[in-house]
Structure 1
Amino acid sequence: MKTMFKLSLTLAAYAVVACVGLAFVYNATAPIIEASAANEVKGALKVLFPEASDFTDVSSEFGGPAGSIGFDRAFVAVSGDAPIGMIVQATGPTYKSSTLLVAVDMNRTVTKVQFTANTDTPGLGTKTAESPFIDQFFGKKIDDEFKTGADVTAISGATISSKAVAAIIKAAAWQAGDYLAKNHGAAAGSGSAPVVAELAPFTLEAGLAELFPECSFEQLPSDAIANSVERSVVLSEAWLARSSDGSAAGVGIVAKGQTYKASTLLVGVLPDATLAGLRVLATTDSANYGKEMLSPDFYSLFAGKSVADAYLVKPSVPEGDIDSISGATISTQGVANMLKIAAYEGSRYLRSAHGGKAASFAEDPFILNVIPEQE
């Protein structure tokens, strides 16, 4: 018993000595480790602002996140005692996620951008960190649009990553320019902070209001508009839009069907046999590909389209009239099929019940996009 007691005391003593030793080593090495980390950070910042003599960490007083884009750290670059610009580390969703260092000078110009992390698809999304894509932001003014198809050239096959990286750079650069203007006398910009839109489905009420502004709505009987073409698409409900004078302004049809998984659309049809547009009410498709149907860049393409168009998706149908969402051909095909059927049935209803314009449909055969079976 005494032997065990002595052994326990000995082990306890060793433990105390070890803990004290570890604490001593930590206290001795922590400043060295911190200094090394700080030097490593400054080295990375120096690459973006080689003319800077030092960098002041202002992360604690920098702006909060812009939607899904977070600002991790922020540094003011100084030369002597004068601020010459700013570097912001920002993280946001791309196809997966990316973290970038964005450098901005005192004249609201992006001087350089560098990725510190990129988890997007190798060979596609990761190309956003490479020339020539990333180079187009060097020298770009903060107040530019930063919009793919306008002043930003997207990478083919990586549209989602391209748009997202442009949004991260824009958000970080704008916040940097705003901070420098308010705190260091840099050039002031115009307008408000960029809004980082979160893609989300519409409610039925919001969708109807956008497609048929300043109209009142009445729900039609369940048998007023039915799918007589292809039963895999369900037209679950329909709403007649009336103008202030009581005339029929169009009909909004709720269509449910297969996309990559499944989606519910609101399709607006006008009495002149064109579409008021499309809004997505629900989808279970991929968050990074199929859900691009929630983007205004996609659904705004259909406003004014004739109900008698082919609604066939390229490149599956080379002569088609609808461009596929990059990487989401099946989702686009499903949307196109629902659009075509809803447009056809809505136009027939408006023609028979409200004197709408007749459209020249190629009803025989009524061709839809062939959606491949999913395993």
Structure 2
Amino acid sequence: MNQKNSVLEMFRLGLILSLYAMAACTVLAVVNNFTFARIAQNRLNKANAAMKTVIKEADSFEPVTQFPSPSNQGVSIEGIYIAKQNGTVIGGVAQVSGATYDRAVIMVGMKTDGTVSGLQFLELTDSPGFGLKANDPTFTLSSGKTFYGQFEGKNARDGFVAGQTFDSISGATITSVGVGGLVSAGTECLLKVLDGQEFN
């Protein structure tokens, strides 16, 4: 094969590879376009179901556009919602994320009197067998409650300190402390929002 034919062959192969790459990118873009909306809707459905779980009496949830940042800078408030029943405010819900042993995203509900109405995990990536007990409905503490179930009825003003104001999971202290931090941050911000404070 002479040099001219060799160059043409390389050009032909390069063109073919470019066409394959363009086709692959186009297919990925189309798939992403079709699945993005569905993934976003699934996340919204999961969040809405969690809100209804953590404050069962509510029949509507209104997003709060401006809310405070928590004093714990390692925690993020992803959203706050006012919970209403027949148009009357009965509490609020905060979606909170941050470090546990690894990471968690929770939804915590609180009534207007400052008591926690419920807690649900949207995501927990801690160690199987230990940290994941926090979200295990079959795991119960000595009180007979699940780890997340024990928060219901607790007053947010008393704080959430593992081993003091709520029970830790044996062998998963870091997870327990981390979840306590998330609940503290969420209820701290909810108390301010429900108190009518304004934020910029």
TM score, norm. by length of structure 2: 0.64
**Partners of 1:51 and 1:79 within 8 A in 2:** yes
* Equivalent AA in structure 2 for residue 87 of structure 1: V
Deviation, structure 1 residue 110: 0.8
Specify the alignment match of 1:45 in structure 2.
51
Is the partner of 1:139 in helix, strand or coil? coil
Deviation, structure 1 residue 34: 1.7
Specify the alignment match of 1:279 in structure 2.
none
Instruction: Return closer, same or farther for 1:118/1:139 CA change in 2, 3 Å cut-off.
Output: farther
Specify the alignment match of 1:33 in structure 2.
39
Deviation, structure 1 residue 107: 2.4
Aligned counterpart for 2:151 among listed residues 137, 142, 153: 137
Return the structure number with greater helix share. 2
* Equivalent AA in structure 1 for residue 28 of structure 2: L
* Structure 2, gaps ≥5 residues long: none
Question: How many angstroms apart in 2 are the aligned matches of 1:32 and 1:164?
Answer: 31
Specify the alignment match of 2:194 in structure 1.
180
Q: Does 1:63 align with 2:68?
A: yes
Instruction: Return closer, same or farther for 1:87/1:13 CA change in 2, 3 Å cut-off.
Output: same
Q: Deviations over 1:355-374 (max 9, x none)?
A: xxxxxxxxxxxxxxxxxxxx
**Partners of 1:98 and 1:120 within 8 A in 2:** no
Aligned counterpart for 1:105 among listed residues 111, 136, 143: 111
Q: Does 1:117 align with 2:112?
A: no
Which structure is higher in RCO with an 8 Å CA cutoff and minimum separation 6? 2
* Equivalent AA in structure 2 for residue 173 of structure 1: T
Within 5 A, what are the aligned runs for 1:322-337?
Answer: none
* Equivalent AA in structure 2 for residue 71 of structure 1: S
Question: How many angstroms apart in 2 are the aligned matches of 1:159 and 1:17?
Answer: 48
Is the partner of 1:87 in helix, strand or coil? strand
Deviation, structure 1 residue 42: 1.9
Instruction: Return closer, same or farther for 1:80/1:28 CA change in 2, 3 Å cut-off.
Output: farther
**Partners of 2:54 and 2:119 within 8 A in 1:** yes
Question: How many angstroms apart in 2 are the aligned matches of 1:167 and 1:14?
Answer: 50
**Partners of 1:86 and 1:103 within 8 A in 2:** yes
Aligned counterpart for 1:20 among listed residues 2, 26, 29: 26
**Partners of 2:53 and 2:120 within 8 A in 1:** no
* Equivalent AA in structure 2 for residue 32 of structure 1: R
Question: How many angstroms apart in 2 are the aligned matches of 1:21 and 1:93?
Answer: 36
Within 5 A, what are the aligned runs for 1:173-322?
Answer: 173-182=187-196
**Partners of 2:80 and 2:190 within 8 A in 1:** no
Deviation, structure 1 residue 98: 5.6
* Equivalent AA in structure 2 for residue 9 of structure 1: L
* Equivalent AA in structure 1 for residue 69 of structure 2: G
CA RMSD of aligned residues (A): 3.7
**Partners of 1:71 and 1:88 within 8 A in 2:** no
Report the identity percentage. Answer: 27
Question: How many angstroms apart in 2 are the aligned matches of 1:156 and 1:30?
Answer: 37
Aligned counterpart for 1:169 among listed residues 167, 173, 183: 183
* Structure 1, gaps ≥5 residues long: 185-375
Counting matched residue pairs gives 180
Q: Deviations over 1:13-39 (max 9, x none)?
A: 343344334323332332222222222
Q: Deviations over 1:330-350 (max 9, x none)?
A: xxxxxxxxxxxxxxxxxxxxx
**Partners of 2:134 and 2:148 within 8 A in 1:** yes
Question: How many angstroms apart in 2 are the aligned matches of 1:40 and 1:156?
Answer: 26
Answer with 1 or 2: which has the greater Rg.
1
Q: Deviations over 1:26-62 (max 9, x none)?
A: 323322222222222222332223343444444x633
TM score, norm. by length of structure 1: 0.39
Question: How many angstroms apart in 1 are the aligned matches of 2:66 and 2:43?
Answer: 21
Q: Deviations over 1:66-125 (max 9, x none)?
A: 23540342231344655432222334555x3563322112222211122442636945x6
* Equivalent AA in structure 2 for residue 35 of structure 1: Q
